[in-house]
Amino acid sequence: MPATILVVEDEPSIQELIAASLQHAGHRTLRADTAEDAVRLVNETLPDVVLLDWMLPGMSGIQYARRLRGDERTRDLPIIMLTARSEEHDKVSGLEAGADDYLTKPFSPRELQARIKAVLRRRAPQMTEDCVDVEGLRIDPVTHRVTGNGKPIDLGPTEFRLLHFFMTHIERVHTRAQLLDQVWGDHIFVEERTVDVHIRRLRASLEATGHDRLIQTVRGTGYRFSAQSE
């Protein structure tokens, strides 16, 4: 699925090459020449992945990675470190700073795409195109189809995104605020009770096949998608 990817790279030609490759693959790109520029962009729009050059003017990529990991809002943001450094201790330093992966320059667009897909699968599975099946409830993000025990289920776009997020994060409890950030999008300001309205609609759509039971209310906290009884 298309992702919003922040490219933090101070070399114009490399930045342009990476951005063109990502856009060709259908992704949206944000660009920053420095970590300070990246801070401003992330404050405005939370990306799905950060491609972060190690050597940057001012704040280094390592320092910025630590900053992202230290902020609750960006703690789980996938980070791929880009660098010409290929020594083992450099890779270890990058990973210890919070990077999810480490790509040594020069690299091919194909390898970059594969690494992005891999970190999204680990960190943000709702951004991938993989089909998910739980207890006979199946969702296909490519065809935008949902079936329950083989029977088609009609969902609105918000309910579809909500179900996809739940099904890619089973057994986890999510607050309404977390669901708003992950499903509606960061910096989209709507009432938290909006989540309850869409949960009711989603449950109603799943009721015919009995899958509404998978969406559980956790009193005082939020919601959980689980195949286990409450």
Q: Where are any strands of DSSP class E within the chain?
A: 4-8, 28-32, 49-53, 79-83, 101-104, 132-134, 137-140, 145-148, 151-153, 173-175, 215-218, 222-225
pLDDT at 124: 66
pLDDT, one tens digit per residue, over 133-168 is 999 999 998 898 999 999 999 999 899 989 999 998
Predicted pLDDT at 145: 94
CB distance 66 to 97 below 8 Å: yes
Residue 177 has pLDDT above 90, yes or no: no
Measured between alpha carbons, how far is 111 from 209 in angstroms, rounded to an integer?
41
* pTM greater than 0.85 (yes/no): no
Give the separation between CA 97 and CA 186, rounded to whole angstroms: 24
Q: Of the given ranges (3-7, 27-31, 183-187), which has the lowest mean pLDDT?
A: 183-187
Q: Is the dihedral of CA 117, 42, 195, 154 positive or negative?
A: negative
- For 129, which DSSP code? -
- Residue 113's H or E segment, with its range, is helix 109-123
Please confirm whether the linkage preceding 106 is cis (ω < 30° from 0).
Answer: yes
Say whether pLDDT at 3 is over 90. Answer: no
Closest CA to 6 of 25, 16, 17, 19: 19
Q: How many CB atoms lie within 10 A of CB 96?
A: 11
Segment 62-75 shows an average pLDDT of 91
Strand order, beta sheet including 145-148: 132-134, 137-140, 145-148, 151-153
Torsion of CA 104, 108, 113, 117, to 10 degrees: -40
Q: Counting every residue, how long is the chain? A: 230
Q: What is the pLDDT of residues 33-68, one digit of tens each?
A: 999 999 999 998 889 899 999 889 999 999 999 999
